[in-house]
Amino acid sequence: MSQISNLKELFSSMVFNERVMKERLPKETYKSLKKTISEGSFLDLETANVIANVMKDWALEKGATHFTHWFQPMTGITAEKHDSFISPVGDGSVIMEFSGKELIKGEPDASSFPSGGLRATFEARGYTAWDPTSYAFLKENTLFIPTAFCSYGGEALDKKTPLLRSMEALNNQALRILKLFGTPAKRIYATIGSEQEYFLISEEHYKQRKDLILTGRTLFGAKPPKGQELEDHYFGTLKQNVLEYMHDLDRELWKLGISAKTEHNEVAPSQHELAPVFSTANIAVDQNQLTMDMMRKVAKKHKLVCLLHEKPFAGINGSGKHNNWSISTDSGENLLDPGKNPENNTRFLLFLAAIIKAVNEYQDLLRVSAASAANDHRLGANEAPPAIISVYLGSELTNVLESIESSNGYASKEEEKMKSNVSYIPEFIKDTTDRNRTSPFAFTGNKFEFRMLGSSQSISGPNFVLNTIVAEELRQFADVLEGKDDIVKASLEIIKDTVKNNKQIIFNGNNYSDEWTKEAKKRGLLNLKNTVEAVPYFIKKKNIDLFINHGILTEKEVLSRHEILLEGYWKVINIEALTVVDIAKKAIIPAVYSYLSDITESTLRRQKLSIDVSNDITVISKLSALKDTLQAAVAKLDKALAKAKDIENIEEKAHFYSATVIDAMSAVRNVADELETQVATSYWPFPTYSEILFPV
Ligand code: ADP
Ligand code: MG
């Protein structure tokens, strides 16, 4: 009992949330802050002063000494700049101060964050601006204030700003539709629950792998004798140290108001997943960043390392992030809940049609939103959805839409009971559709699950794209519907048209099959295999227009993000390639030399005793030849890197890395991995896949 009440107390104990605000803020202040949060109204400096003061007192009581504006630059991770509350007064003593101005505005130097040419280094000024819709929280004796980050000229330099703008756009357009249907709603929100995959490995192993330390993934490693073929890890019993880690992590997350709920083993050995209960989009994005941060920190305490990279181990499943997305009204009504009879739920079908049309017309943007050098290892590699975007609806909804399209009536399915044929196991009603785990964008009962996201990426990008493209379709629908007398009839016409023109995006089969790739091509769907193929679509005119029309990004901001994407891409591969060269030259080749030298020595000694050493000579020659091949491959990679350096044009550069440099890296790895299987374990310079993935 006491533990339960402790947990209740623990939850959100480090968050300056609704409850704390209500308790501590003067009534008027609370009211105007609440209005700002729920309706987006302006908040004046006087009110901010009061809030800052109350926030500071709350933080000091909990032991805080510092505060920081917390922001999300285009690096994809978060940034912070700590200031103490201390303010000296004339007599040599100090007081603790925190003003409204400090709460609402910060001025970090912006010159060292990616800006994609938006800002020359001499224009260093950048601003962080308080986002009152995401709660401030306490971590490591510091008050964290969620903020948006922009340049002196007002251009967004972060991941939060476009997300907030997209929520606004979605709100505006969805409310137009809801009004037509007579749904009472003041505001609508995108809701998100993101399932986070990760690997846990021992710190001891990690420390010995320069590739993991520098790049987050292993750049070498032969296939272990055992992989994931027995499928014995998925949902398997949790190991004691993993269990302790998960429980510890849950507690830390709960303190921060993050409702971590589900934890289980994933398909690959040493791979796990954490899912929180969903929340509104901006909070979900902030909380996912915090979750990733906490996952790493808590692991350290347990002498483990949490790997969030999309593909830490070749040949073993990588990690993604399932982005569950829906739309909800301020009273919590889920607009993607079909209800018992979807065929009669016109409002739901209209929203569904908007999403189908959005995904079809903006496949390219969704694809770009999940593109990165790291995620290129997963998408289309038979462990994650393919790079082709399609929508899974399940048979029931597909039938409903088809019957509208063909104007035939729809006969709804009877509820089916699940029977186990064991008398004492209770019966329950089956879901109307089975699950499909292969679709990149699947309807899962009352939400869509976008499954292309990489495990390490900020979920902001995919969600601001989703919000915006759906806002655009709702706008088009509202333009037609407003002024019509019979909204249901007019909606059905729109739905019919939409299905007719967009049904090529609907696919309920196996997305991993080769047939689907062929079929998708026939349907004219895009198949953008990697980042360099996908990124150019970001700056297509239709996409720039979309962002401008909904006030999400200006043309300048789109172009800057395009540049940041390409730059991020080649820089990641460059670091990986340099690390490959470094490890090969300084660790692997020396290890091979030393092994070769020892066996050669012993062979020569035995030869002196007239023992037959022909077999040994074969082994030595083979190893020698492999070593030569490795050295040649390293030289080739070195050369490719030198060439890459001279390429000025950023698109050309990214292409060169995606083809030539990646190929040269693979060539080095292939020989090195072959050598790993030939050289005695005691000589090998770092832990192998078996040791890392199957710790004793
Ligand atoms: P699974 O995908 O394994 O079936 P769940 O059904 O438990 O997992 O849900 C996965 C995630 O979807 C959770 O984070 C959950 O909170 C989230 N989710 C559920 N309903 C919604 C919703 N209406 N909007 C956004 N996310 C949701
Ligand atoms: Mg899921």
Domain ranges of the chain: 2-158, 166-215+233-411+433-553, 569-693
pLDDT at 208: 97
Contact (Cβ atoms closer than 8 angstroms) between residue 546 and residue 466: no
Residue type, 661: V
Distance CA 377, CA 530 (A): 9
Distance CA 9, CA 23 (A): 15
Q: Tens digits of per-residue pLDDT, 288-334?
A: 999 999 999 999 999 999 999 999 999 989 999 999 999 999 999 99
Structure tokens at 75: 């690096």
pLDDT at 235: 60
- Multiple choice CATH, 569-693, 3.40.50.1220, 3.40.50.720, 3.60.20.10, 1.20.120.1560: 1.20.120.1560
Helix (H) / strand (E) containing 143: strand 142-151
Mutate to test the pocket of ligand 1, among 447, 448, 466 (most ligand atoms within 8 A of CB): 447
Distance CA 435, CA 443 (A): 9
pLDDT at 408: 76
**What is the number of alpha carbons within 13 Å of residue 646 lying toward its C-beta?**
4
pLDDT band at 40 (very low <50, low <70, confident <90, very high): confident
Residue type, 483: G
CA-closest residue to ligand 1 atom 5: 275
Structure tokens at 592: 């091979």
Residue 529: Cβ within 10 Å count: 15
Find, among 434, 356, 363, the residue nearest to 402 by Cα. 356
- The DSSP code for 376 is G
Strands 417-418 vs 142-151: parallel, antiparallel or unpaired: unpaired
Distance CA 383, CA 310 (A): 12
Residue 58: Cβ within 10 Å count: 18
Strands 142-151 vs 391-392: parallel, antiparallel or unpaired: unpaired
Total-model pTM: 0.93
* Partners of 454 in the β-ladder: 320
Structure tokens at 417: 């009971």
Classify burial at 373, counting beta carbons within 10 Å of its beta carbon; exposed 0-12, middle 13-18, buried 19 or more.
buried
Write down the H helix ranges in 209-269.
210-215, 240-255
Strands 441-443 vs 391-392: parallel, antiparallel or unpaired: parallel
Mutate to test the pocket of ligand 1, among 324, 334, 438, 450 (most ligand atoms within 8 A of CB): 324
pLDDT band at 1 (very low <50, low <70, confident <90, very high): very low
Q: Does residue 477 carry a pLDDT above 70?
A: yes
Range with the poorest average pLDDT among 283-292, 307-316, 417-426, 542-551:
417-426
Contact (Cβ atoms closer than 8 angstroms) between residue 335 and residue 348: yes
Structure tokens at 292: 């990733």
Distance 191 CA to ligand 1 centre (A): 10
Distance CA 567, CA 571 (A): 6
Strands 66-71 vs 142-151: parallel, antiparallel or unpaired: parallel
Distance CA 179, CA 417 (A): 38
Mutate to test the pocket of ligand 1, among 191, 278, 434 (most ligand atoms within 8 A of CB): 278
CA-closest residue to ligand 1 atom 14: 193
Q: Does residue 35 carry a pLDDT above 50?
A: yes
Distance CA 614, CA 386 (A): 50
Q: Does residue 246 carry a pLDDT above 60?
A: yes
pLDDT at 238: 65
Distance CA 33, CA 14 (A): 19
Distance CA 656, CA 376 (A): 15
> Buried (b) or exposed (e) across 488-526, using 16+ Cβ within 10 A?
eebbbebbbebbeebbebbbbeebbeeebbebbeeeebb
Q: Tens digits of per-residue pLDDT, 337-389?
A: 999 888 889 999 999 999 999 999 999 999 999 999 999 999 877 677 789 99
- Establish whether domains 166-215+233-411+433-553 and 569-693 are of one fold: no
Structure tokens at 27: 């009534």
Q: How far apart are the first and last CA of the chain?
A: 37
Ligand nearest to the CA of 192: 1
Residues with Cβ within 8 Å of 221's Cβ and at least 6 positions away in sequence, in order, are 313, 314, 673, 676, 688, 689
pLDDT band at 5 (very low <50, low <70, confident <90, very high): low
Report the pocket of ligand 1 as residue ranges, CB < 6 Å. 191-193, 195, 275-278, 322, 324-326, 334, 446-447
Region of residue 260 (left: phi > 0; alpha: psi -120 to 50; beta: else): beta
Q: At the fourth CATH level, which superfamily is domain 166-215+233-411+433-553?
A: Glutamine synthetase/guanido kinase, catalytic domain (3.30.590.10)
Distance CA 107, CA 69 (A): 9
pLDDT at 696: 77
pLDDT band at 159 (very low <50, low <70, confident <90, very high): very high
Q: Which atom of ligand 1 has the smallest separation from the CA of 435?
A: 4
- The DSSP code for 511 is T
Distance 68 CA to ligand 1 centre (A): 32
- CA 425 vs CA 235, 269, 419, 429: distances in Å: 22, 32, 8, 13
CA-closest residue to ligand 1 atom 3: 195
Distance CA 660, CA 655 (A): 8
Helices (H) and strands (E) in the chain, counts: 24, 20
Contact (Cβ atoms closer than 8 angstroms) between residue 55 and residue 67: no
Q: Does residue 472 carry a pLDDT above 90?
A: yes
Give percent of the chain above pLDDT 70: 93
Phi, psi dihedrals of residue 639, rounded to the nearest 5°: -65, -45
User: Considering the domain 2-158 in this protein, what is its CATH number?
Assistant: 3.10.20.70
Find, among 392, 430, 435, 436, the residue nearest to 413 by Cα. 430
- The DSSP code for 331 is T
Q: Tens digits of per-residue pLDDT, 160-174?
A: 999 999 999 999 999
Q: Does residue 428 carry a pLDDT above 60?
A: no
Contact (Cβ atoms closer than 8 angstroms) between residue 133 and residue 41: no
